[in-house]
Structure 1
Amino acid sequence: MEQTELTQTPLQKIWVPWMSTLLQRRRGSSVPQFTNSPTMIVMVGLPARGKTYISKKLTRYLNWIGVPTKVFNVGQYRREAVQTYKSYEFFMPNNEDAMKIRKACAIAALQDVNIYLTHEQGQVAVFDATNTTRDRRELIINFSKENGYKVFFVESICDDPDIIEANILQVKLTSPDYKDCDKEKVVEDFLKRIECYKINYTPLHDEYDRNLSYIKIFNVGSRYLVNHVLDHIQSRIVYYLMNIHVTPRSIYLCRHGESELNLLGRIGGDSGLSERGKKFASELGLFMRDQAIQDLKVWTSHMKRTIQTAEALGVPYEQWKALNEIDAGVCEEMAYEEIQENYPLEFALRDQDKYRYRYPKGESYEDLVQRLEPVIMELERQENVLVICHQAVMRCLLAYFLDKSAGCKVESFFLNIEAVNTHRDKPENQIARPSDAPLYRHRRPVPLASPAPTKTPRLEDLGETSPPCSNHKLQHLASLELSPAIIYAFTPTIYSRHFATVKIFL
């Protein structure tokens, strides 16, 4: 059977520089642009206010939606410059030698920001430091203007002593600054360090800083103040920050039980559960009851196989259309052998780039990530949730929760119910792609794993070494083998401790 022409010409995005001609060099960038100029997210606040936690969460989110983002933690530069930390006296305002070192570290980090945004196709840089003085913020603003970057400040304000103490105990005890130190001495020294910063701390001011773009977060999200949001990325940042919370919780991800179409080796469709699938659903209900989780919410897609899996739990559940399986378009309910026979070029294109490939009249993994963003946002707002979903959907959710830089505790549970394996390995023999055949239908942002921080901050020869580039983790997860009836359990971390669990059922 001769294949009908299904592949369309790819759409191209155009880079429009904002202020500086220095950005013209980015016009040839192969990375789709989410912004019309690079953006610096600048953290502001006293120590132990969760700035690093916010930085990592934001970076994970922005990378997942396809905006190349990296954190630049000035504390790491300082620890590289000063190998041995002695006491809070290093942070005293009258310690001139230390002040010079700290400023040099900030400048070194800014130089790396410039390398990342100008030469490495980065679009957002998170500048993670206290930035508590107007002088330091003016330095950053001037640097951004010179290079044509937009600036968005995120100030974390907390006057609740219980939250501050909990943060110190959870994070600072494991900090390299306090390795092998007594707990009481750590708390005492760090509280004195905070007092050193308070001497010159000038919060963002409603009147003085009225022309700046910023969000203030009070006491871990009890109140917010947003000012002068300029563009789409800044509005997405505000939207995300107003949805996250730090309440301890568990998030369970579970693929539906084996379906009738799974048994036939056909993709998509809306079939019900097989007998083994029903048995798995029953075992899942018993398992969840044994967990004795209070106020557990259960989410499903609109498809029969997830709904039937949820009904076995005997609890109310919510249906999300956004959780529906990836739409295979004209290939719905076909076996892979049939797709290869009827649409050989489409079959080969998908094998060459499974993440970006879009089924004719259907979806790609790129499309699926965009569809799932409201689900991620709502998961960040919720407490204990069981999500019963599908293979492709679960891969995309895993790409978000398994971001190593943000940190997640992951547990797997095997319920010992057999099921068919719906995973298909990439074949060795592929037909050659014609030179004029586009590989993708559309170019859209690729969800990225958050890049690892620069391991060796530099105070000299700033231009010679570049931070590592982002790795496209979701492209790998697009081929992750997930059998029917799989459960993942995650614990998204606050600071360095586990405050939420993502649990996986296998």
Structure 2
Amino acid sequence: MEVDPVHENNFIEMEPPLSYGSLDIDLKPSFALDSNSVGNVKSFLTKNKPFPIRGERANFINIPHVVVMVGLPARGKTYMAKKLTRYLNWIGVKTRVFNVGEYRRRSTSLYTNHNFFRPDNAEAMCLRELCAMNALKDVCNWLNSGEGDVAVFDATNTTVERRRWIFNIVVRKLGFKLFYVESICNDQKIIESNIREVKLSSPDYVGVNPDEAIKDFIQRIEHYKDIYHPLDEEKEEHLSFMKIINTGEKVVVHKHEGHVQARIIYYLMNIRVMRRDIYLTSAGESQNDVLGKVGGNSSLSERGLDYAKALADYMKSQDIPRLRVWTSWMNRTVETAQFIERQKERWKCLDELDLVSYRFTRGESYEDLVARLEPVIMELERQENVLIIAHQAVLRCLLGYYLDVSSEKLPYIKVPPHTVLKLVPIAYGCEVEYIPLNVPAVDTYQERPSKYKSQTVEEPPAGVLDKESSSVESNHFQNGDTNANEETDK
């Protein structure tokens, strides 16, 4: 999620002033602090939070973290930043992206062509530095307020001076933890694909001929190359960072610190930039569904078997290359997949939420379910086309990850029975298509209590479960801000 810039007088200040480029930034912590002691900050931040009451997520972050993206334009930095933010929020770490390019756009409409990014354009350079400072102020304010755990500072950050400036503020003055993520790409096919698929939709190029826009953007990249200094293990040996080369072909990790950075590294090592489709569907109607029984491991009903056959026919009609089929170990999911002539894998972690003991002492919660589904997410990020046949609660958690749904809304995401959900990950979000296969079924969905209905996750529009229809209909949804583009501001 991105946060709108906040330019008010309540920003954090710090002594003494630090100079960056032609501008000064003067910050001071909003809490009492001896200016000679960073330890006081760390003591303030590392006080153990109370043990969470039931229903709340445990917060395992005692010191705020700042993740700083590094790299030339069109290297997938914003793609990584947004995916990382979505993942961390999904596992319960409050995270936001602060994109310097958005600050620049809100500050000026001066951009006309690549000359705006020339290193010798003093006026534009001054403005870009100011936007970076405003963004970093907002990062510090947000973390210092206690509202967030991890802030992602999304910009090119291509110079040693810029990275040193960030380190002085974030680490030396505020005592936060800092981790750099550099994306390096030398594969021209990947770069050209990024430019065509993402950059041409940038607000900078509205109404511009695509060929002219590509030419201008390539020249913009050349300006950055003039001042670009990759992270250096010797000259910047004090920094914690990772380098991702050619979208995961090679990964270098230097001096990472702690559990949070380890999880960030593991996640970013697994993501791949590729066009693929992910299909989700709940198991066909079971005998227990017909009887109104909760839980159990019963087989499919007659209508459930009809759905299994309809699902196999639909998947065959799509002619999906290298499709893999994942099910849980429970009878109804295995039986739902039985007519599909593709390689199948059974995952124990895809088993249904323990509905009998849910919310009782030691019962499994949605938070527990998210934790056990993490290996599935990691493997999904590495896979091409996958069909997952699982259970309502499991699919809600997976949808929560791809659609960036908050944890409190997870239990109320509606997953229609006997319906295929087609997910297509795109640059900064995910498109969803609901495809009912027109086999009647018992709908076990339970709505959110009436006093919370105004906050319920939006359901598919009327007609998505139209059992009288004689043809497959589909409904499209899309999450993510399609206008949010990877930025090339320094």
Is the 1:395–1:478 Cα contact (8 Å) retained in structure 2?
Answer: no
Equivalent-residue separation in structure 1 for 2:48 and 2:140 (angstroms) = 13
Is the 1:158–1:219 Cα contact (8 Å) retained in structure 2?
Answer: yes
**Which residue of structure 2 lines up, in the alignment, with residue 172 of structure 1?**
199
Equivalent-residue separation in structure 1 for 2:209 and 2:79 (angstroms) = 24
Cα displacement string for residues 183-224 of structure 1 (whole angstroms, at most 9, x for unaligned residues): 121111111111111111111012112221111011111111
1:191-210 equivalence runs, <5 A: 191-210=218-237
Shift of 1:480: 9.7
1:50-69 equivalence runs, <5 A: 50-69=76-95
Q: Which amino acid aligns with 1:401?
A: Y
TM-score normalised by length of structure 1: 0.75
1:306-325 equivalence runs, <5 A: 306-325=333-352
Q: Tell me which of 215, 218, 238 is aligned to 2:242.
A: 215
Secondary structure of residue in 2 paired with 1:387:
strand
Is the 2:203–2:483 Cα contact (8 Å) retained in structure 1?
Answer: no
Structure 1 residues 66 and 190, CA gap change in structure 2 (3 angstroms) = same
**Which residue of structure 2 lines up, in the alignment, with residue 367 of structure 1?**
368
Equivalent-residue separation in structure 2 for 1:155 and 1:136 (angstroms) = 14
Shift of 1:18: 8.9
Shift of 1:251: 0.6
Shift of 1:362: 2.4
Shift of 1:314: 3.4
Equivalent-residue separation in structure 2 for 1:297 and 1:407 (angstroms) = 23
Is the 2:243–2:251 Cα contact (8 Å) retained in structure 1?
Answer: yes
Cα displacement string for residues 136-192 of structure 1 (whole angstroms, at most 9, x for unaligned residues): 001110111211211110001112222212211111111011110011211111111
> Quick check: 1:280 aligned with 2:307?
yes
Q: Which amino acid aligns with 2:201?
A: T
Equivalent-residue separation in structure 1 for 2:281 and 2:336 (angstroms) = 10
Equivalent-residue separation in structure 2 for 1:82 and 1:260 (angstroms) = 63
Q: Tell me which of 54, 63, 76 is aligned to 1:37.
A: 63
Q: Which amino acid aligns with 1:425?
A: E
Q: Which amino acid aligns with 1:374?
A: P
**Which residue of structure 1 lines up, in the alignment, with residue 75 of structure 2?**
49
Shift of 1:421: 1.3
Equivalent-residue separation in structure 2 for 1:490 and 1:294 (angstroms) = 24
Structure 1 residues 105 and 428, CA gap change in structure 2 (3 angstroms) = closer
**Which residue of structure 1 lines up, in the alignment, with residue 290 of structure 2?**
263
Structure 1 residues 24 and 322, CA gap change in structure 2 (3 angstroms) = closer
Q: Tell me which of 184, 207, 217 is aligned to 2:211.
A: 184
Equivalent-residue separation in structure 2 for 1:18 and 1:321 (angstroms) = 46
Shift of 1:32: 3.8
Q: Which amino acid aligns with 2:365?
A: S
**Which residue of structure 2 lines up, in the alignment, with residue 115 of structure 1?**
141
Equivalent-residue separation in structure 2 for 1:370 and 1:264 (angstroms) = 31
Shift of 1:290: 0.5
Equivalent-residue separation in structure 2 for 1:31 and 1:302 (angstroms) = 28
Aligned CA-pair RMSD: 3.2
Equivalent-residue separation in structure 1 for 2:325 and 2:475 (angstroms) = 14
Cα displacement string for residues 382-405 of structure 1 (whole angstroms, at most 9, x for unaligned residues): 111000000110111110111289
Structure 1 residues 125 and 428, CA gap change in structure 2 (3 angstroms) = closer
**Which residue of structure 2 lines up, in the alignment, with residue 448 of structure 1?**
none
Secondary structure of residue in 1 paired with 2:62:
coil
Is the 1:252–1:488 Cα contact (8 Å) retained in structure 2?
Answer: no
Q: Which amino acid aligns with 2:310?
A: E
Equivalent-residue separation in structure 2 for 1:61 and 1:423 (angstroms) = 26
**Any unmatched runs of 5+ in structure 2?**
1-38, 406-426, 485-490
Shift of 1:120: 4.5
Equivalent-residue separation in structure 2 for 1:494 and 1:198 (angstroms) = 29
- Paired-residue identity, %: 50
Q: Which amino acid aligns with 1:398?
A: L
Cα displacement string for residues 251-271 of structure 1 (whole angstroms, at most 9, x for unaligned residues): 100100000111111211101
Shift of 1:371: 0.8
Equivalent-residue separation in structure 2 for 1:65 and 1:366 (angstroms) = 8
Is the 1:22–1:148 Cα contact (8 Å) retained in structure 2?
Answer: no
Structure 1 residues 368 and 147, CA gap change in structure 2 (3 angstroms) = same
1:340-355 equivalence runs, <5 A: none
Q: Tell me which of 398, 410, 430 is aligned to 2:432.
A: 410
**Which residue of structure 1 lines up, in the alignment, with residue 355 of structure 2?**
328
1:383-462 equivalence runs, <5 A: 383-403=384-404, 406-426=428-448
Q: Tell me which of 300, 319, 329 is aligned to 1:292.
A: 319
Equivalent-residue separation in structure 2 for 1:480 and 1:82 (angstroms) = 39
> Quick check: 1:85 aligned with 2:148?
no
TM-score normalised by length of structure 2: 0.77
Shift of 1:493: 9.3
Equivalent-residue separation in structure 2 for 1:480 and 1:265 (angstroms) = 24
Structure 1 residues 237 and 491, CA gap change in structure 2 (3 angstroms) = farther
Shift of 1:31: 7.0
Shift of 1:93: 1.1
Equivalent-residue separation in structure 2 for 1:325 and 1:203 (angstroms) = 46
Equivalent-residue separation in structure 1 for 2:480 and 2:344 (angstroms) = 26
Secondary structure of residue in 2 paired with 1:195:
helix
Structure 1 residues 197 and 423, CA gap change in structure 2 (3 angstroms) = same
May I ask how many residue pairs the two structures share in their alignment?
411
1:233-244 equivalence runs, <5 A: 233-244=260-271
